[in-house]
Amino acid sequence: MTLHDAAGQDRLGLAATLDAKLESLDLAGRLALAAELGRAVFTTSLGIEDQVITAAIGTHRLPVEVSTLETGRLFKETVDLIGESEERYGIEIHRFRPEQDDIDEYAAKYGLNGFYDSVEARHACCHVRKLKPLAKALAGADIWITGLRRGQSGNRAATPFAEYDAERNLIKINPLADWDIETINAHVASEAIPVNPLHKRGYPSIGCEPCTRAIKPGEPERAGRWWWENDEKRECGLHVPENAAQPIVEPGPQAN
Annotated binding site for [4Fe-4S] cluster: 125-126, 208, 211
Closest CA to 135 of 98, 109, 110: 98
Task: Please pick, among 236, 245, 248, 255, the residue that the annotation labels catalytic.
Answer: 236
Phi and psi, residue 170, nearest 5°? -140, 170
- Cβ of residue 196: shortest distance to ligand SF4, in angstroms? 16
Helix (H) or strand (E) holding 54: helix 48-59
Nearer Cβ to ligand SF4 (91/208) = 208
CB nearer to ligand SF4: pick between 63 and 72: 72
Nearer to ligand SF4, 125 or 145 (CB): 125
Q: How far is CA 130 from CA 60, 112, 239, in A?
A: 29, 15, 11
Q: Which residues form the interface with ligand SF4 (CB under 6 A)?
A: 71, 73, 115, 122, 125-126, 129-130, 207-208, 210-211, 236
Q: Would you call 67 helix, strand, or coil by DSSP?
A: strand
Three-state SS at 112: coil
Pick out the residues of the known binding site. Answer: 125-126, 208, 211
Q: How far is the CB of 52 from ligand SF4 (least distance, A)?
A: 22
Q: Please, which residue, 129 or 222, has the CB nearer to ligand SF4?
A: 129
Q: What is the DSSP string of 164-222?
A: EETTTTEEEE-TTTT--HHHHHHHHHHHT----GGGGGT-SS--BGGGB-PPPTTS-TT
Q: Is 212 a catalytic residue?
A: no
- Closer CB to ligand SF4, 31 or 125, in the complex: 125
Q: Min. distance of Cβ 236 from ligand SF4 in angstroms?
A: 5
Nearest-10 Cα torsion for 184, 40, 209, 160: -50
Write down the least CB distance from residue 93 to ligand SF4, Å.
18
In this chain, which residue has its C-beta nearest to ligand SF4?
A: 208
Query: What is the separation of C-alpha 47 from the centre of its chain, rounded to a whole number of angstroms?
Result: 9
5: DSSP letter: G
Q: Which residues pair with 41 in a beta bridge?
A: 65, 144
d(CA 164, CA 167): 9
Provide, rounded to whole angstroms, the least separation between the CB of residue 89 and ligand SF4. Answer: 26
Mind telling me the catalytic residues? 236
